Amino acid sequence: MPRPVVFAHRVLGRVSPATLDVLDALRERGHRLALISNATSETAEAWAAVPLARRFDVTVFSCEVGLAKPDPAIYRAAAQRLGVAPADCVYVGDGADGELAGAAAVGMTVLRTTEHQDTDPGWIGIVIGNLREVLAHVEQPASIE
């Protein structure tokens, strides 16, 4: 495995058990999950081998689709792959790369998480401090991005 792929695998493999538990709980409640990432090809290559991968129904890696957050087309691509309208999706992110505004622009409900990073402190929408709070915001079957 080339060195950048090893690094990507190591980073992706460090997802906390609490995060995995939230993803598992969402799936158990019938939610389909998508990941949208401004990712390098090394990250995309390492993806299938990490525990996080099996928790998502859809992945949209910027390096594979030629789009990057906050381009509205990358959010629409994820919704389309899930087979739902963007308005039926909830997007959860820390705000890096202008992602929150991009998701909101296509009509997604947006939750800004500050659990790991606080990269968009100017965001005026819903803010959650812990990913477990996503469960309270999603009461009926929908899609989480």
Query: Where residue 123 sits, what CATH number does that domain have?
Result: 3.40.50.1000
* Domain extent at residue 90: 17-39+56-144
* Section 44-65 average pLDDT: 91
Q: Evaluate whether residue 73 is within a structural domain.
A: yes
* pLDDT of residue 12 exceeding 80: no
Q: Evaluate whether residue 12 is within a structural domain.
A: no
Q: Evaluate whether residue 107 is within a structural domain.
A: yes
Q: How far is it, in rounded angstroms, from Cα 49 to Cα 84?
A: 27
Q: Evaluate whether residue 3 is within a structural domain.
A: no
Q: Evaluate whether residue 50 is within a structural domain.
A: no
Q: Evaluate whether residue 2 is within a structural domain.
A: no
Q: Evaluate whether residue 97 is within a structural domain.
A: yes
Nearest partner of 137 among 109, 101, 99, judged by Cα: 109
Burial label for 137, CB within 10 Å (0-12, 13-18, 19+), is: middle
Q: How far is it, in rounded angstroms, from Cα 46 to Cα 144?
A: 22
Count of the separate structural domains present in the chain? 1
Q: What is the pLDDT of residues 99-129, one digit of tens each?
A: 999 999 999 999 999 988 878 888 899 999 9
Q: How far is it, in rounded angstroms, from Cα 22 to Cα 6?
A: 26
Q: Evaluate whether residue 85 is within a structural domain.
A: yes
* pLDDT of residue 5 exceeding 70: no
Does the predicted model carry a pTM greater than 0.95? no
